[in-house]
Structure 1
Amino acid sequence: MSEPTSHASAETIGLDPFSPETMDDPHAFDARLRETAEMVWLPDYGIWFTGRYDTVERVFRDYEAFESSAGTGITNTKTAENWRKPSVILEQDPPTHTKYRRIMTSVLSQRVVRRLTEDFQRRAYEIVAAGLGSGEFDAAELARSYPLQVLPDAVGFSPEGREHLLPYANLNFQAMGPRNELYRRAAEEAEDAAAFVGWQMRREALTPGGLGHTIYGYVDDGEISEEDAGMLVRTFLSAGIDTTIFGLQFALRALAEHPRAWAALRGDPSLARKTFEEALRWNAPSPYIGRTAARDVEIGGSTVRRGEKVIMNLAAANRDPRRWDAPERFDLERDTAGHLAFGTGIHGCVGQMMARMEATCFLTAVAELVDTIEPAGEPVRFHSNWLRGYERLPMRATLR
């Protein structure tokens, strides 16, 4: 069968976003994609990719033309079976999305985040001090240990079974891409995780007083069902941990490799939030997000047909020279407003205030406890269809 005319004339690139080679050198792929055309067709996967800032922002904001309810990965979940039930907030469109978005915005409100800050900061000091005690350390592991403790505690997850959190989240993100070896391996490693998550989502499994119980309060008020509440709790398990971990890894690498930035943060720990924002712009930990055309749409001379997938490359957009000066440079003097690591529009990350608070506490602790920090070996990248980060990130530090 020949391809539709719109695809036959579309720009393509001879690169695979889901190959090990791309995962080891992602910025080369991002730049090639972004500079080839406004819209690039990947025939091997039958999807569109875009990496230009203005186009990504347009797709995000036009939620009527580009829907989320067909899934936010490369699979159209309206026509193909997915590995799990769709999220009631991430994979919904208005008006259904609006109710759940309002509830989660309240659960993660600024008031709630402020209430949690003191405990998160105390824990950050403890974890950073313990993690850096020997001088040489794995920054990837240090960045993992903090979110894996503070967020599950805040939600009210059981202390037992937390070893399943990362395998479950890994499967969730690997499944956003193709059913390749990375997906198959993740499915094997998460074999017991789905059962744990099904158990942990329940009201009875959550500690009273946590964010999870707050969600179930909307069941008692008659606004949502028990099943809906469990699905909202699930979003903490599937979307709230890995991305923060990898964002912290990129921040630590940036500080170790940029002495000027480290000196600025060390001298003024109030720059912790700015450091995190620039790290997210510099290296988006969740580089891709997908939408599905709800109707035929013309973009940049290409016709995206109804039902076709558009994958937005946030990492490429966050380094688009049309939007940012010297985008490859990590620069704490940069105005990072408008970076797309958390998305934008009605589906912008509902937990972004929580993630920012976590990261600010963590990087404040690093700034106040650490004297020197530098690389101590070659990083080992974590291979993922949908995330970017590190398996290992060797560093050396001295404490004050």
Structure 2
Amino acid sequence: MTLTTAVPTSATDPFGDDVLADPLPFHHELREAGQVVHLERYDVYAMGRYAEVHAALVDWQRFQSGAGVGLSNFRREKPWRPPSLLLETDPPGHDAPRHVLEPILAPRSLRRLRESWQQTADDLVDSLLDRGTIDAVADLAEAYPLRVFPDAVGLGPDGREHLLPYGDHAFNAFGPPNHLVEKGQAGLPEVSGWVGEQCARDRLTPDGFGARIWEAADRGDITHDQAPLIVRSLLTAGVDTTVHALAAVIDGFLSAPDQWELLRRDPGRARVAFDEAIRWASPVQTFFRTATVDVPLGDAVIPAGEKILMFLGSANRDPRRWTDPDRFDLSRDPSGHVGFGMGLHQCVGQHVARLEAECVLRALASRVRAIEPAGESRRHLNNTLRAWASLPVRLVPA
């Protein structure tokens, strides 16, 4: 490949353990280097500034998803699983699955879940207050989504422990085949097999998201072959991302206790708090696109067929877009963040995640006077996700 001389280069491995543990210094270097940077280690292009990342996300014609949203190029390599009909297709193949899911996961459709989800959150927080010191990851951020989301999809009670390792491996696999991918390979047949089985019509309850997807197949809106793949997309991306976002919002309040006081005084800011955590921490850090044509960008040109790594986390802290970007601040409007993507492929399940977060934060705000650190926190490394493995906190009752 011939590089345009105007393209700056970087020898840093963005999937190295040190960068995954603390990506902020590399993000700063990436943004300052230019509009687009060539990553020598993987021979791909990278964008770290908000303007360029946002523009690429909404320009599906020139920056396609159909060649895979990970490092692997589906035009040249066979994927380890069937491509996601939502993340890894472009129009027209993307249209029908998206049109089926949007009304199922729309805020109006989710209203029926609000009361029961709020009660579940209230009960969970009450039980955690009895303990005082908890791990905000395992006891709250994982426990709540694993309780309500599989129910909403229509899964039975057994085997839900497979969802987190499956999702973790799927997001690791968007990166290079490093030790994080190897770690998940051993258990993959069991967890992947279980997830695949849950997508079958006869394994789903008649009142969940999954059943409505199969009903869309009966109407002819999608094919019966597509239905289980769409259900699988929900199970792949609908748990880990919310888990890590909930942990991120707790971490945000630990970093800025005054913002917790603000939420307690005004619980109506719960959704703003969640979106600010998505901006501030960006649980989904990166996604790839593939150039369909030569794309001019400033003085550079991204050649057709080349992979582009978009650093969503870097864009969400770009000072060109955000004032005081490193501060977790409930007084700002975070709605322009790219943590859920943007444009045609924007996360279709974002309203589900927001409802889960709102229920949890309202339960906490009405019962907890302070959230205090209670031990050493520990990061969980993933090629795509920014996550906590452990976040010990003390809940001080109101």
Task: Please give the TM-score of this superposition, normalised by the length of structure 2.
Answer: 0.97
Q: Secondary structure at the match of 2:277?
A: helix
1:285 touches 1:389 (CA, 8 Å); kept in 2? yes
2:218 touches 2:224 (CA, 8 Å); kept in 1? no
Kindly report which structure 2 residues correspond to 1:1-400, keeping only aligned pairs within 5 A, or say none: 3-6=1-4, 9-141=6-138, 142-400=140-398
Residue type of the alignment partner of 1:120: W
1:158 touches 1:206 (CA, 8 Å); kept in 2? yes
Q: CA deviation at 1:237?
A: 1.1
1:34 touches 1:51 (CA, 8 Å); kept in 2? yes
Unaligned segments of structure 1, at least 5 residues: none
Give the fraction of aligned pairs with identical amino acids, expressed as a percent. 43
Q: Secondary structure at the match of 2:236?
A: helix
1:280 touches 1:341 (CA, 8 Å); kept in 2? yes
Residue type of the alignment partner of 1:115: R
Deviations 1:101-137 (A, max 9, x none): 1111011122211111111111111122223321111
1:257 touches 1:375 (CA, 8 Å); kept in 2? no
How far apart in 2 are the matches of 1:329 and 1:35?
20
Structure 1, 129-138 or 282-291: larger mean CA deviation: 129-138
Q: Secondary structure at the match of 1:310?
A: strand
How far apart in 2 are the matches of 1:78 and 1:5?
21
Q: CA deviation at 1:58?
A: 0.8
How far apart in 1 are the matches of 2:61 and 2:300?
19
1:157 touches 1:206 (CA, 8 Å); kept in 2? yes
Residue type of the alignment partner of 2:324: A
Q: CA deviation at 1:95?
A: 1.3
1:165 touches 1:237 (CA, 8 Å); kept in 2? yes
Q: Aligned pair count?
A: 397
How far apart in 1 are the matches of 2:188 and 2:128?
27
RMSD of Structure 2 on Structure 1 (CA): 1.2
Residue type of the alignment partner of 1:279: A
How far apart in 2 are the matches of 1:237 and 1:5?
40
Q: CA deviation at 1:303?
A: 1.3
Deviations 1:327-361 (A, max 9, x none): 01111111112111111111111111111111111
Deviations 1:14-72 (A, max 9, x none): 32111111122111111111111110111111111111011011101111111110000
Q: CA deviation at 1:9?
A: 4.9
How far apart in 2 are the matches of 1:15 and 1:300?
23
1:257 touches 1:374 (CA, 8 Å); kept in 2? no
Structure 1, 122-131 or 288-297: larger mean CA deviation: 122-131
How far apart in 2 are the matches of 1:132 and 1:148?
20
Q: Secondary structure at the match of 1:96?
A: coil
Q: CA deviation at 1:376?
A: 1.5
Residue type of the alignment partner of 1:45: Y
How far apart in 1 are the matches of 2:255 and 2:322?
21
How far apart in 1 are the matches of 2:179 and 2:254?
33
Which consecutive segments of 4 or more residues in structure 1 shift more than 6 A?
A: none
Residue type of the alignment partner of 1:203: R
Compared with structure 1, are the counterparts of its residues 162 and 273 closer, same or farther at alpha carbon in structure 2 (3 Å cutoff)? same
Residue type of the alignment partner of 2:209: L
Q: Secondary structure at the match of 1:195?
A: helix
How far apart in 1 are the matches of 2:74 and 2:234?
21
1:67 touches 1:294 (CA, 8 Å); kept in 2? yes
How far apart in 1 are the matches of 2:344 and 2:384?
21
Q: Secondary structure at the match of 2:9?
A: coil
Q: Secondary structure at the match of 1:374?
A: strand
Residue type of the alignment partner of 1:212: G
Task: Please give the TM-score of this superposition, normalised by the length of structure 1.
Answer: 0.97
Deviations 1:172-196 (A, max 9, x none): 1010000011001112132301111
